Amino acid sequence: QKEVEQDPGPLSVPEGAIVSLNCTYSNSAFQYFMWYRQYSRKGPELLMYTYSSGNKEDGRFTAQVDKSSKYISLFIRDSQPSDSATYLCAMSAGVLGKLIFGQGTTLQVKP
């Protein structure tokens, strides 16, 4: 069993939809949770970072962490075609060199 599971999709939604992207994990020591966005043929870029449980909001993006269920989510409100990308979750217990990535979910937002 992988430490981090992420549905690879692809996920296709109409412009303006609310998008929910999710990851589950098995290691209860994870405390730091990140979402990266990767456009085609580009490097991943850090989108959201959350420490421990709770919500964090940044514009149209909301990251949620539920440590009791070992489940994290990224919500995108009013999705735009420019949000079309692969979204990777990543998590760490704070040990250097031990950032674990999900497989990534490919999102397409259609105009």
Structure tokens at 45: 């870029």
> Cβ of residue 78: shortest distance to other proteins, in angstroms?
26
Query: Whose Cβ is closer to other proteins: residue 23's or residue 76's?
Result: 23
Q: Which of 64, 57, 90, 62 is nearest to 76 (CA)?
A: 62
Structure tokens at 101: 């990535």
CB 109 within 8 A of CB 14: yes
Q: Looking at residues 43 to 72 of the shown chain, list those that interact with other proteins (rule: CB under 8 A).
A: 43-46, 49, 51
Which residues of this protein are in contact with other proteins, per CB under 8 A? Answer: 8, 32, 34, 36, 41-46, 49, 51, 88, 92, 94-99, 101-104
